[in-house]
């Protein structure tokens, strides 16, 4: 009798779809996966409904890759279903891992978001007063849609997560490595970050680095950069020093600063604060006024510091 095929599921919560595409970006490898495994549930690529998932026995799946953050009750419902039905649940990509770009919505309130989307946006029909509700009556029949949460959560805020695969999106080679590790049963202790390095991005970056002292911060398009020299030394924001490597140095190799999608280094509690510490230290001034002027060159710093992980940060959201 042939060996039992691996039973896998993939799902997206509050996500852009890039993580699903990253799985497809493994090219022909995905055909090997399909040959070695039964893809039981994958909304972006395979037909299947929630009731199919509900009908499965507990732990019937071997592996569930969950990408996307938890923004509404539907995301949480499917996260809990997958937790119940799968032996392994993996937070796949920055959003599931740390909240991701959708997590930046924690800087504003639910009411502000709904007002912008449905009441005050320039493209809204003037006078519109309709905001979708979780429960409404249509022609006398009750209609339910997922309820929109007050804030964004990480996957591990709502269910137990076995492994974390960082990246926005995870690099295809890392996706392969993770799938192969599951097939071979060669997995690290539960709770580990897999498919990434234990070192900082700077360790893998080939640009030359010397002493960092910065008097002006620039956005990448504002200066002609030296392609061989450390971006931060040139005043271009790069989170490499505070960020876990494993992506293949994709952004600095494309002349963009690291944005931190692989998350903090092992043992670091707060990614943005750790970057803040390193960044402010290299400001080349001992005069408070001048320091303020130099730091003023950093627009919207909080969104930069926590671009991929506000819900994973110490304060997690706004307290206005």
Partner 1 sequence: MSFEPKIVGFLCNWCSYTGADLAGTSRIQYPPNLRVVRVMCSARIEPTFVLRALAGGADGVLICGCHPGDCHYSEGNYKAMRRFPLLKRLLKDHGVDNDRVRLEWVSASEGQRFADIVTDMTERVRALGPLRIKSDLQTDLVER
Minimum CB distance to partner 1, residue 156 (Å): 12
Contact of 92 with 67, CB cutoff 8 Å: yes
Q: Is 210 in the site for partner 1 (CB under 8 A)?
A: no
Give the number of other Cβ atoms within 10 Å of residue 89's Cβ: 25
Task: Name which position in 43, 298, 308, 309 contacts partner 1 (CB under 8 A).
Answer: 298
Distance of CA 57 to the CA centre of its chain: 30
Give the number of other Cβ atoms within 10 Å of residue 71's Cβ: 23
Which tokens in the block code for residue 110? Answer: 């639910």
Nearest to 284 by CA among 216, 203, 189, 194: 216
Task: Name which position in 90, 272, 307, 309 contacts partner 1 (CB under 8 A).
Answer: 272
The rounded distance, in Å, linking the Cα atoms of 251 and 264 is: 16
Q: Which stretch binds partner 1 (CB under 8 A): 9-17, 38-46, 195-203, 308-316?
A: 308-316
Q: What is the footprint of partner 1 within residues 90-119 (CB under 8 A)?
A: 107
Q: Is 256 in the site for partner 1 (CB under 8 A)?
A: no
Q: What is the footprint of partner 1 within residues 142-171 (CB under 8 A)?
A: 147, 149-151, 153, 157
Q: Return the number of the residue (88 or 298) whose C-beta is nearest partner 1.
A: 298
Q: What is the footprint of partner 1 within residues 52-81 (CB under 8 A)?
A: 73, 76
Q: Is 135 in the site for partner 1 (CB under 8 A)?
A: no
Minimum CB distance to partner 1, residue 154 (Å): 12
Which tokens in the block code for residue 218? Answer: 């620039």
Minimum CB distance to partner 1, residue 115 (Å): 18
Q: Is 244 in the site for partner 1 (CB under 8 A)?
A: no
The rounded distance, in Å, linking the Cα atoms of 288 and 294 is: 10
Task: Name which position in 234, 241, 243, 316 contacts partner 1 (CB under 8 A).
Answer: 316
Q: Is 319 in the site for partner 1 (CB under 8 A)?
A: yes
The rounded distance, in Å, linking the Cα atoms of 40 and 48 is: 8
Q: Is 86 in the site for partner 1 (CB under 8 A)?
A: no
Q: Return the number of the residue (252 or 311) whose C-beta is nearest partner 1.
A: 311
Q: Which stretch binds partner 1 (CB under 8 A): 5-13, 58-66, 168-176, 286-294?
A: 286-294
Minimum CB distance to partner 1, residue 95 (Å): 17
Q: Return the number of the residue (45 or 273) whose C-beta is nearest partner 1.
A: 273
Q: Give the interface with partner 1 as residue ranges (CB under 8 A).
A: 73, 76, 107, 147, 149-151, 153, 157, 269-270, 272-274, 276-277, 279-281, 283, 285-286, 288, 291-292, 295, 298, 301-302, 305, 313-320
């Amino acid at each position: 009798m042939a060996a039992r095929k691996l039973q896998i599921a993939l799902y997206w919560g509050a996500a852009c779809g890039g993580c699903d595409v990253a799985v497809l970006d493994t090219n022909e490898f995905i055909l090997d996966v399909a040959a070695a495994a039964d893809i039981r549930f994958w909304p972006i690529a395979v037909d299947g409904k929630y009731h199919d998932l509900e009908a499965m026995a507990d732990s019937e799946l071997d592996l569930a890759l969950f990408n996307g953050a938890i923004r509404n009750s539907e995301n949480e419902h499917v996260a809990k279903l997958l937790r119940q039905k799968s032996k392994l649940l993996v937070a796949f990509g920055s959003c599931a891992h740390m909240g991701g770009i959708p997590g930046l919505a924690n800087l504003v309130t639910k009411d502000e978001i709904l007002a912008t989307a449905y009441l005050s946006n320039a493209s809204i029909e003037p006078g519109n007063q309709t905001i979708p509700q979780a429960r409404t009556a249509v022609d006398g029949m009750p209609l339910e849609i997922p309820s929109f949460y007050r804030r964004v959560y990480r996957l591990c805020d709502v269910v137990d997560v076995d492994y974390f695969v960082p990246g926005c999106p995870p690099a295809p080679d890392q996706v392969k490595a993770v799938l192969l590790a599951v097939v071979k049963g060669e997995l690290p202790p539960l709770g580990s970050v897999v498919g990434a390095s234990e070192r900082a991005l700077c360790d893998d970056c080939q640009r030359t680095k010397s002493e960092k002292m910065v008097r002006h911060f620039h956005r990448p398009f504002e200066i002609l950069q030296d392609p061989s020299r450390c971006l931060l030394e040139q005043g271009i924001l790069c989170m490499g020093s505070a960020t876990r490597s494993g992506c293949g140095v994709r952004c600095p190799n494309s002349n963009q600063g690291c944005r931190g999608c692989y998350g903090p280094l092992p043992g670091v509690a707060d990614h943005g604060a750790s970057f803040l510490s390193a960044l402010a230290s290299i400001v080349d001034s001992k005069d408070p006024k001048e320091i303020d002027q130099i730091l003023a060159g950093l627009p919207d710093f909080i969104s930069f510091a926590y671009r991929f992980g506000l819900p994973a940060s110490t304060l997690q959201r706004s307290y206005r």
